[in-house]
Amino acid sequence: MFITLKSLNQKARILLLSGVVLIVAAILFLVFSKSTKPIHKHPEKAEVFDEGLRIVFKPNSPGLEIVRSTVIGGGGEFVSLEAPARLIASTSPSVSNGSRIILFESAELNDLYVGYIHAKNKLHRSNKNLSRIKDMFVHRVATEKDLVESETDSGNDAAELAEFEGKLRAQGLNPSELSTAGSLKAWIITDVPESQISTLKKGKKVKVVFASFPDEEFTGTAEAIGDNVDPLTRTAKMRIIVVNDKYRLKPGMFGVVKFPEQTGGDSVVLPYTAIVTVEGKNYVFVEEKPLTFKRREVVLGISTKERVNIIEGLAPGEKVAIQGSILLKGLSFGF
């Protein structure tokens, strides 16, 4: 039996037509949704040119989202180098007669200084004796054997003195300056990176904060830089002299030395995350134009754990990658 629209009442006809409309709409939605489904492009790898010197990204290159660049320099930025330090020696009045004595942070250093003084006095005596023997030899009162023995004693005493002086210098101390220093003097030793030695000149004013006096800054003067660079830590010892007002500072105290270094308006300061190091050389990646980076070697100046001053290789106004440098390093050097 066939059912026609005419045989249905008005309500039934409306329901039937509504159902047909819904079915047609659903079919059309399915058809158009399939035809308008977006087509995803496969990620395109960054391209590397000139043996890794230049890197060109595509807009959908993997890892590009972690690379961030910024324009550098021109802001009068500065880096303040800080280094741990300890007070290694100080002058003090003697409790017996009021004369000036030197106190050291350890018995070993005290023994070295005492040995230096004894060796110095011994060399003085042997030199005087050598002069006397030479005069006697000229007047045929002393023999050649006496002269040779006296010369040998003088040479041995000079070698002994040099040994004690070398050991004291290895600790950052100059024994001749210790013996002539006035009262209220304290000597601080700190280790500075090899790369900073050229910027930390003798006579430079520094600030020192001791753990015993955390709210007080003492002004010190860089007196000298050690003769040796530690082959393991690549640091050199710097000796700083401080006025020990009221003898409050004691040998063995620990503190922090601050070397303020105003780098000026034409300087370049970068976060350390921008620097990559390969085979002892330091590099950054300059964004020459959008999505194009070029590797460039730079020379580092004063640095902290967070920031570093660039001495050579960059100019203010250039755009440098400060995040994603590890990715760029891998692409550039093929790591």
Structure tokens at 147: 């002269």
Domain boundary among 210, 227, 262: 262
In a domain, 27, yes or no: no
Residues 218 and 159 in one domain: no
As for how many domains the chain has, the answer is 3
pLDDT digits (tens, 9 = 90+) for 68-94: 999 987 655 666 677 899 999 999 887
* Cα-based distances in Å from 155 to 91, 119, 130, 148: 32, 12, 10, 11
Domain span at 274: 47-77+265-333
Q: Is the pLDDT of residue 304 over 90?
A: no
Tell me whether residue 1 is in a domain: no
Looking at the predicted structure, is the pLDDT value of residue 328 above 90? yes
Domain contains 9: no
- Residue 24 located in a structural domain: no
**Average pLDDT over the chain, rounded to whole?**
84
CATH classification at residue 253: 2.40.30.170
Same domain? 129 vs 172: yes
Among 242, 262, 282, give the residue marking a domain's end.
Answer: 262
34 located within any domain: no
Residue 209 placed within a domain: yes
Residue 221: beta bridge partners?
Answer: 205, 241
Q: Look at residue 33 and tell me if it is in a domain.
A: no
Q: What is the pLDDT of residues 130-180, one digit of tens each?
A: 999 999 999 988 999 999 999 999 999 999 999 999 999 888 888 888 888
Give the domain-ending residue among 160, 177, 194.
177
> Which pLDDT value is given to residue 21?
62
Q: 271 with 284, same domain?
A: yes
Predicted model pTM: 0.58
Q: 278-309 burial, b for 16+ CB within 10 Å, e for fewer?
A: eeeebbbbbbeeeeebbbbebebbbbeeebbb
Residue 269 sits in the same domain as residue 285 = yes
pLDDT band at 263 (very low <50, low <70, confident <90, very high): very low
